[in-house]
Amino acid sequence: MKIKQIRLSWFRGASENATLETNDKSLVVYGRNGTGKSSFVDGIEYILRNGHISHLAHEYSGRHHKHGVRNTHTPSGIPSTIGIDFSSGETVDMQIEPDGNFKSACSPAAFETEFSKLNFARVVLRQDEIANFMLKTKGEKYSALLPLLGLHSLEVRANNIRSIKSETMSASMLQRKQTDIIRQQAAKDAAFGDKSDEEIMQCLGDLHAFYKETKLPLDRDMLINELEDAEKTIISSFNQEHARHHELTSLLATKPQDVLKSIFEILDQTNSEVDEHINDKLSILESASTYTERLDPEETIPCPACGKKILANDFKEHVENEQKSLQDLRIIYMRRNEATDNLIALIRAIPTRLRTPKLTDWLSDPAQSDVVNKIEQLEGLDLKSLRRNITALQVITITDAITLICNHVNASTVASIPEVEKLVEDKKIISAAVNLKKLDELISDVANLELLESTLTKMEQEVRNEIRFLSDKIITEISNDIQELWSILHKDKPIEDISLHLPDDDKAIDICLKFHGVSQSSPRLTLSEGHKNSLGLCIFLTLAKRGENNNAPIILDDVVTSFDREHRGFLVNLLNQHFTERQIIIFTHDREWFAELRARLPQKKWSFKMLNLWKSPTEGINWLRSSGSLFAEARHLVSENPELAGNKARTVMDIEFSIAAESLRVSLPYLRSSRNDHRTSHEFVTRIAADAKKKYKLNDDGDYVPHNGAIEALQEAERLLVSWANAASHGHLITESEAEELINACESAYTSLSCPECNELVWLANQEGQKRLQCGCGHLRWKYG
């Protein structure tokens, strides 16, 4: 897959039209800071991340980055566009409306799948992303690398299973049912004590024998049914006095005073705002807990509460304690809800029980007029409102009413009727027995839900096991590649055994290595800034080589900022050795590296472009005319500022001819101390021109003869560099035509080192045995040694 061109219109720094053409080759783009290089990278990111650009993800960019992606001077109503044309003929286009909404189109449509599968992080490497990656915690490294290892979909699956589990358990009211079991178990214990099932059956059998004369049924449920029937029969046979006594005693058997006592106790411990408070706190702690998983336990972090530096482990412990304390509080709140529910049930039950026809006479007795008033008071309560928020004052009022009613009921049941009272006591056992069946069903239901929960937990864990297994396998494979790439960038550096590894904690990846023979668990312990970034680059380039899309272009945006000259040079070797079949697009603001790449990369596969200074939003991004020429920038300045143009030309010559002298192995006289590093182009050109007379040959019908044209060009450049270029760089005036002549001479001198047949520089190939350099086709030769 090769990018043919990237088209921008009113996107980021581009005005109406800015096109980056690759000519189907790899490409190096040079531009000073702010010339618009990154606009092209942003365009690719916007398409690959479906309308998202990481460095624009902040509060000021607005919805869909609408304040960031569009050129500030875009004419009203005009959309911004990004287009990528591929060498295969396919295209991808994105149109961004003024409100930030966007739509994409691919041609042909089927291509969308191939292109959209590309992982941005495998295609584009930016300097700041590499630096940031190396500084990330092992948890953040895990999140960054997982998609690149091709395991993101498994992580999504694990998260989906966790979400389904959480929702299912919440919808099933498992927690509520578990509490119900505890409550019903307590009711069972109250009725039957610590009796075994056999003893309970014996107890029910005794009751059956007392109330029924028929044969004892075998099944517990049938036994209970028969007892319920018997109880109803007896109650229906009561005379009026017994019936009244039964109703009143039954009411007292519900122990209204206990219900009132519970609500008072629990109101002392909590208030109505507690649940909201707990929910808020728990959601904050949930986020904090997720955050702590990403922290290195030994790392110090600023405490979110007080700002003091604390160990991550201490912070984690603090979060866990807070979570536990809130969970305890929630249990208290659940008890409060339960006590409120019981009170409301009592408020409903008392009027219902007392308004039964069996108590009509009792209630119409003038002595019970206060009871009637209190019943009416209870009936007038807004129970929904009470359930939401019950106050202590309301509880006191309700307690007064219920207590008065209970006192009257007590007074009316002073005279004992033993058979009625036995029935009321036995009824408690029968009711508890009825609840046994419900309890069994509840226990079975909860057991199923708990099994479901544990099955979903195991399923999620299996996905995580799979992620770990595959991560382990992949990172073992890629660790060798990382070490190999590192070895190219850092020959003879005593850093070895570089590998990614999975620490014991979940969701973590780190990098370990041996530094001067000593094992290190993180590169942050010993490596310099430049070496860390270099290691990060090796990791990402290794991952870019892997996977299904290992033919996709690789885009490197200013990735060598922290590299010294030597390592920038080794990066060229790395690209030449490992990425010969890939299209690579390099953006750089480093003039020297641009020159080096131009000198060392084969022209057949690489092209070179330079961006002009970006002047205004309406002018936008523009390329230097004759962008392929090293001297385009200098030429551009000739009419405007001849001195600056001359100086630019000399700067280009300083860089290019230092590389040329090194590549041609030209010996230079030794200078003391740092003066060796401050040589100028004049010295290089002089020595190269002198050596060229003996060493530089071109093929003339099979014979290699001195390259006189090149020698003349070099000598002319040498002459003008001494006179006009020195004048220009020291602030003296030179004319427009002098600047033009100087640039022409410099360009001719530089061009004379390239082959007119194959366009490659004379030092492209090295025939070491013959101590000879030559261009790609052998037309030019340089004998060294």
From first CA to last CA, the distance across the chain in angstroms is 43
Q: Does 459 engage in binding with another protein (CB under 8 A)?
A: yes
Asked whether position 172 contacts another protein by CB under 8 A, the answer is yes
State in angstroms the smallest separation of the CB of 115 from another protein: 16
405: burial class by Cβ within 10 Å (0-12, 13-18, 19+)? buried
- Mark the segment that binds another protein (CB under 8 A) among 186-194, 409-417, 461-469, 627-635: 461-469
CB of 457 to another protein, least distance (A): 10
Report the distance separating Cα 565 and Cα 430, nearest Å: 92
Strands (E), 427-564: 495-501, 510-515, 518-520, 554-557
Supply the minimum distance, in Å, between the C-beta of residue 477 and another protein: 16
d(CA 318, CA 687): 71
CA-nearest of 494, 546, 552 to 519 is 494
List Cβ neighbours of 559 (8 Å cut-off, separation of 6 or more).
Answer: 125, 126, 127, 130, 533, 537, 586
CB of 434 to another protein, least distance (A): 20
Least separation in angstroms between residue 172's CB and another protein is 6
Cα angle value 622/741/661 (rounded, 5°): 85
Integer Rg of the chain from CA:
43
Q: Which is nearer to another protein, 421 or 445 (CB)?
A: 445
Q: Is 50 in the site for another protein (CB under 8 A)?
A: no
163 binds another protein (CB under 8 A): yes
Among 89, 469, 529, 700, binds another protein (CB under 8 A): 469
In angstroms, give the least distance from the CB of 500 to another protein: 19
Stretch that binds another protein, among 160-168, 224-232, 590-598, 609-617 (CB under 8 A): 160-168
Residue 120 in 3-state DSSP? helix
Question: Is the omega angle on the peptide bond into residue 304 within 30 degrees of 0, that is, cis?
Answer: no
Residue number, 455 or 767, with CB nearest to another protein: 455
Verify binding: residue 359, another protein, rule CB under 8 A.
no
- The least CB distance from residue 154 to another protein, in Å, is 8
Site string for another protein, 418-457 (x = CB under 8 A): --------------------------xx-xxx-xx--xx-
Q: How many residues does the chain have?
A: 785
Residues ≥6 apart with Cβ < 8 Å to 159:
none
Q: Which helix (H) or strand (E) holds 616?
A: none
Smaller CB distance to another protein: residue 158 or 402? 158
| Minimum CB distance to another protein, residue 492 (Å) | 35
Based on the shown chain and the rule CB under 8 A, indicate whether residue 708 belongs to the binding site for another protein: no
Q: Which of 206, 341, 376, 462 binds another protein (CB under 8 A)?
A: 462
Q: Is 549 in the site for another protein (CB under 8 A)?
A: no
For the CB of residue 338, give the shortest distance to another protein in the complex, in Å: 24
Identify the burial level of 674 via C-beta atoms within 10 angstroms of its C-beta, where 0-12 means exposed, 13-18 middle and 19 or more buried. Answer: exposed
**Pick from 732, 204, 682: which is nearest to 436 by CA?**
204
| Cβ 144 to another protein shortest distance, Å | 18
Nearer to another protein, 142 or 750 (CB): 142
Count the site residues for another protein by CB under 8 A: 28
Task: With residue 6 as reference, give the H or E element that holds it.
Answer: strand 3-9
Binding region for another protein (CB under 8 A) out of 97-105, 168-176, 235-243, 632-640: 168-176
Span near another protein by CB under 8 A; candidates 132-140, 157-165, 369-377, 418-426: 157-165
Strand partners, 126: 557
* Nearer to another protein among residue 448 and residue 551 (C-beta): 448
Could you give the 3-state DSSP secondary structure of residue 488?
A: helix
Residue 328 interacts with another protein (CB under 8 A): yes or no: no
Residue type, 487: S
Stretch that binds another protein, among 167-175, 217-225, 352-360, 564-572 (CB under 8 A): 167-175
Question: Helical H runs in 29-126?
Answer: 37-48, 66-69, 111-116, 120-123
Please say whether the beta carbons of 454 and 186 come within 8 A: no
The one-letter code for the residue type at 727 is A
User: Which structure tokens are listed for 451?
Assistant: 């099994």
Stretch that binds another protein, among 41-49, 278-286, 462-470, 730-738 (CB under 8 A): 462-470
Q: Is 726 in the site for another protein (CB under 8 A)?
A: no
The answer to whether residues 143 and 438 touch, using CB atoms and an 8 Å cutoff, is no
**Residue 242 or residue 468: which is nearer to another protein going by CB?**
468
Nearer to another protein, 156 or 367 (CB): 156
Among 159, 178, 397, 580, binds another protein (CB under 8 A): 159
Task: Establish if 177 lies at the interface with another protein (CB under 8 A).
Answer: no
Q: How far is the CB of 136 from another protein (least distance, A)?
A: 22
E-state strands within 420-552: 495-501, 510-515, 518-520
Among 161, 632, 649, 652, binds another protein (CB under 8 A): 161
Going from the C-alpha of 744 to that of each of 177, 456, 720, the distances in angstroms are: 90, 75, 10
Work out how close the CB of 16 gets to another protein at its nearest, in angstroms, rounded to a whole number: 37
What is the bridge-based pairing of β-strands 780-783 and 772-774?
antiparallel
Report the nearest approach of another protein to the CB of residue 168 (Å). Answer: 4
Which residue lies nearer to another protein by CB, 174 or 544?
174
Least CB distance to another protein at residue 146 (A): 13
Q: Name which of 210 and 469 has its Cβ closer to another protein.
A: 469
Nearest partner of 712 among 754, 749, 755, judged by Cα: 749
Can residue 458 be called a binding residue for another protein (CB under 8 A)? yes
Handedness of CA 338, 342, 344, 345 (dihedral sign): positive
CB of 104 to another protein, least distance (A): 17
Angle between helix axes 174-192 and 197-211 (nearest 10 degrees) is 60
Convert residues 13-42 into a mask of x (bound to another protein by CB under 8 A) and - (unbound): ------------------------------
Give least dist CB 156 to another protein, A: 5
For residue 693, what are its two tokens? 């007379």
* 3-state secondary structure labels for all residues of 181-246: HHHHHHHHHHHHCCCCHHHHHHHHHHHHHHHCCCCCCCCHHHHHHHHHHHHHHHHHHCCHHHHHHH
584 strand-pairing partners:
554
User: Helix 312-354 vs helix 256-269: angle between axes, to the nearest 10 degrees?
Assistant: 150
Residue 160 touches another protein, criterion: CB under 8 A: yes
CA distance 519 to 496: 9
Q: Which range of residues in 13-21, 134-142, 460-468, 593-601 is near another protein by CB under 8 A?
A: 460-468
How far is the C-alpha of 25 from the C-alpha of 23, rounded, in Å? 5
Q: Within positions 97 to 156, which residues make up the interface with another protein, using CB under 8 A?
A: 153, 156
- The correct pick among 466, 481, 592, 712 for binding another protein (CB under 8 A) is 466
Query: Nearest approach, Cβ of 147 to another protein (angstroms)?
Result: 11
Rounded CA-CA distance 516/495 in Å is 6
CB 82 to another protein: min, Å: 24
- C-alpha to C-alpha distance for 456 and 162, rounded to whole angstroms: 7
Applying CB under 8 A, the residues found at the interface with another protein are 153, 156-157, 159-161, 163-164, 167-168, 171-172, 444-445, 447-449, 451-452, 455-456, 458-459, 462-463, 465-466, 469
